[in-house]
Amino acid sequence: MSEVNDKIVIVTGGANGIGAFSVEVFIENQAKHVAILDIDTISGFKLEKHLNTTYGDGKVKFYKCDVSIDDQLFGAFNKVLDSHGYIDVVVNNAAVSLENSLEGIRRLVDINVTALVMSTLKAIEIMRVDKTGKGGTIINISSIAALKQFCPSVFVYCGTKSAVLQFSNCIGKQEYFSKTGVRVITVCYGPTDTDLVPLMINIDDSINPEIRSNIDAQKLQTAESAARGLLEAYKNGASGSTWLVFDSKVTEITSNIDRAYDIMSENFTK
């Protein structure tokens, strides 16, 4: 089991929703410091003030950061390093859901996939034990949208979350972890009470009826319960593992993912 106490943590997209609760859950569990990376300055500074008032000065710091811009993303990492000397945990939570314009769709991919990949690689570069680091953990946020083909109206979003799952599983494999000492864990959230879900449900009547009925019946897990599920995955997950947080319940689904890929590859592997 991995503990949170005395850890230096970065949470991207940490000013609102599940990200904000993730920041608080880490602080509540005795993290030494959590850095919030987000473009929402009003919410970010408000959260920083609230948590420092509640848990002690200097526990949280907000950095205005567009994760899709490498200079801002890497600059924020470097500022945390300059202030604390090391980084133990990176939670790649930043994401957007629905965009209709071509420019917006490109930004969706840039944030949901490219920025997550760049953040993961930067974190590994800093933390890897075969260089100058001391190991650490990266948690990449995917979604049930990567696990079931039920979102015909938000196919780009589903594609990005599938990419997150495959990337994270591959880079988290034991062969790589044994060299770097950096765990990479994937967390897939189910329907959660954030601004994202109503937008996804209301955009198109072709959305899966089961998912729509859950929303209509308000069967949504809270953002806080999702964040607590993330913490459980952090404490118990092996590198390359995948965790589902659905209906406020946390389940490791690594064997399901492995079995699915075995089925998909059975025609060209022995």
Among the ranges given (58-72, 111-125, 214-228), the one the predictor scored with the smallest mean pLDDT: 214-228
Give me the pLDDT at residue 101, please. Answer: 86
pLDDT tops 60 at residue 125: yes
Radius of gyration of the chain from its Cα atoms, rounded to whole angstroms: 18
* SS3 call for 51: helix
Residue 240 is given by DSSP the state T
* Residue 132 tokens, joined: 């100058």
**What CA–CA distance (Å, rounded) separates 17 from 38?**
12
pLDDT tops 50 at residue 61: yes
Give me the pLDDT at residue 216, please. Answer: 52
DSSP string, 96-155: -----SHHHHHHHHIIIIIIHHHHHHHHHHHH-TTTT---EEEEEEEEGGGT----GGGH
Write down the residue that tokens 């109503």 correspond to: 198
Give me the pLDDT at residue 203, please. Answer: 47
**What CA–CA distance (Å, rounded) separates 232 from 199?**
28
Strands (E), 201-261: 242-246, 249-252
Neighbours of 208 (CB within 10 A): 14
Mean residue pLDDT of the chain comes to 91
Beta bridge partners of 189: 143, 245
**What CA–CA distance (Å, rounded) separates 210 from 25?**
31
**What CA–CA distance (Å, rounded) separates 260 from 251?**
17
Give me the pLDDT at residue 23, please. Answer: 98
pTM for this model (two decimals) = 0.92
Q: How far apart are the first and last CA of the chain?
A: 35
Give me the pLDDT at residue 155, please. Answer: 87
Give me the pLDDT at residue 217, please. Answer: 46
> pLDDT confidence of 22, banded at 50, 70, 90?
very high
The rounded percent of the chain whose pLDDT value lies above 90 is 83
Residue 242, phi then psi, degrees to nearest 5: -125, 135
- Of 96, 97, 80, the closest CA to residue 37 belongs to 80
pLDDT tops 60 at residue 215: no
- Residue 2 or 228, more confident: 228
Tens digit of pLDDT for each residue in 217-241? 457 999 999 999 999 999 999 999 9
Q: Strand 33-38 to strand 242-246: parallel, antiparallel, or no bridges (unpaired)?
A: unpaired
Tens digit of pLDDT for each residue in 155-209? 899 999 999 999 999 999 999 999 999 999 999 999 999 865 554 554 455 555 6
Give me the pLDDT at residue 200, please. Answer: 52
